[in-house]
Amino acid sequence: MATPVARQFGGARRRLIEELQQKGIKDMAVLKAFDDVPRHLFVPTGVQHRAYEDAPLPIGHGQTISQPWVHARYLELLGLTGRERVLEIGTGSGFQTALLSRLASQVFTVERIAALAEEAQRAFAATGIANVAQRVGDGSLGWPEFAPYDAILVGAASPDVPRPLVEQLTIGGQLLVPIGGRDEQVLVRVRRTPEGEERMSLEAVRFVPLIGTHGFRD
């Protein structure tokens, strides 16, 4: 049975999904994930009334939860089948992690800020997510202990593609990462091949910087 809080946001969630469709998101699995995951549980209480706007929102510690269209676009580009092992760099609020948990077999996620990781963990527990492994650390180094991964998503901007992440892909696996300066970037898709890697620039984006050994210095 839906709780009063869940019913309160039901109409707004449906309107967001319709807006994502109008903006070109066609992958029905991605849209269903947005319908399944309560975004209001992944934002601070002070901005919960805006949880289903197609807009980024502050989550504290100088970080933001990305615009829903950006999350949807990331996930649609990956074209996950439900069988993949996925690594996410930048847990943030945990909302994208939760979406991934509906689209992949297993999700590994790394967050630099311990307080954000703790808040995301509480949201995972509240939504009953059981196929996510989480750690606090330098996301630019990946999580080599559980590599290789079929897909890696980087939710922060890097000056170049972090080499450890490419090396943690399966052959045929793909990495999505914003590349550029601290203010403007281009979303780049990297595919690992037997011969090396293939890169494709996709579209202009704006993300907070990836702080770490293979990212920006704090």
- Residues with a known catalytic role: 66
Q: Which SS3 state, helix, strand or coil, does residue 21 take?
A: helix
Long-range Cβ contacts of 111-119 (<8 Å, 24+ apart): 111/135, 111/136, 111/139, 112/136, 112/137, 112/138, 112/139, 112/211, 112/212, 113/61, 113/63, 115/60, 115/61, 116/59, 116/60, 116/61, 116/63, 116/91, 116/92, 117/91, 119/59, 119/93, 119/94
DSSP state of 86: E
DSSP state of 51: T
